[in-house]
Structure 1
Amino acid sequence: MHKGKGMKFVGDSRVSAERKSQIPKDYSEYPGRTEAFWPNFLLKEWLAGSVFLVGFLSLTLAHPSPLEGVADPTNAAYIPLPDWYFLFLYELLKYEFASGPYVIMGILVLPGLAFGALLLAPFLDNGPGRRPHQRPIANIMMILGLVATIWLTYTSAAHVDWETRAEQNKPVPPNAVEIDTEHEGYAVYEANCMSCHGGELEGGGAAPPLVGIEYSAEEVADIAQNGINTMPPDQFTGSDEELEQLVDFIMSVNEQEE
């Protein structure tokens, strides 16, 4: 070619003639080993997540979480507990190697190592296979984490009577009922019960609230004399007439709830 006319073509071996990076893989070459992310894999994950979510919501409707009373900083007898999904960490702090002078191990080091290992599991075991025996490192780490969490949660929850705890700590809204201090049974209640059950029958410490109870008058009288659960017997020291006045006062307060 003459100067200034036409053009020259230069070939570069670093540039591929076929841009294969834009061509999706033919997954038929790997039967049973891999699949397209969209829509196959994503649809399966979405379906699995939906089934779990519906099951979890159904469980919360069938067995709602018990609500407790308003926090009282003056109640030194109350033992706070974390929610169920943190009980395994709470139980971990009871062991010698994770409490006392080693509490940093229990609250930072051990949980950090455990969760960090689970986050690194896919990178430590990145083989192409998806069967459990082809991913030994990731599966062993996941099983160990799952077993430890379930065992620690069970061990912690086994020492708590959840139904009694929920009954003793029922939330009682302030000023939910009007206390008739002119009632003849109020003075009896003040002398025998107020120190434990509170000025508005809201309960406190180990004593449950006396508002919203489902006992009959006869059962209330029997409990006042013979006790129930953590309440010892013979707490009431008045006469039969005063016992009748006390029961009538407690029942009159609960009638306001109905």
Structure 2
Amino acid sequence: MHRGKGMKFVGDSRVTHPSSRKKQQPKDYSEYPGKTEAFWPDFLLKEWLVGAVFLVGYLVLTVAHPSPLERPADPADTGYIPVPDWYFLFLYQLLKYEFASGQFNIIGAIVMPGLAFGALLLVPFLDTSKERSPFKRPLPTGFMVLAIAAIIFLTWESVVNHDWAAAKEYGKIKEEVPAVEIDENAEGYQIYLGSSCIGCHGNAFEGALGKPLIGLDLTADEIVTIAHDGLGGMPGGTFQGSEEELQKLAEFITTLQPPE
């Protein structure tokens, strides 16, 4: 028996010489009219044009209807009620309900929104159906419709129940009241700091929800009468101190006259 007898050599057709391989050519998009296009520059140019139209539109809108401004923020003003932007009004309204406010505030502020947005993030993992028709996917469709309905309802309730006219009047930019020197050691000023008056009239008597108390052409007795009976939008009987304290406060307010 000769060495190597019966051996055969088989060539692999997958191994070819580099010179015989076909070069990778980009597809000729003319073969698919109206269905495909080159990313650069055709598709990207369209994206830029659409983006430019929206950008110009937003710029025109901001110039035609600028964002409304209110008076400067005052941390000592406890009467101001802040309102979030329209896309957060449904969460703002949710915090007004008893089950989501007060001692249950954490439920309305963290737990309920966290569960809702967490469920939204888990939808691709919980619903793996390949069906595209919403009628063949009742659970995801039902949950989404319920979420949209809840957002619309809460937003509507927030808009309807908010006193927008009062908020606009409250936040209106007012003429700056002339500053006066205030004797912070005076008994009348100490009474003012401990009363509810400061929430409406400001910590420097400059006015906020209520009118400024600087330069009033009133006597101390007239101020006492207004504190008891009210005047205009100011309710009466809001001062919680004694009559003696109210009289001292009224006398102190009459000394708040702007410099000539």
Q: TM-score, normalised by structure 1?
A: 0.47
Q: TM-score, normalised by structure 2?
A: 0.47
Larger radius of gyration: 2
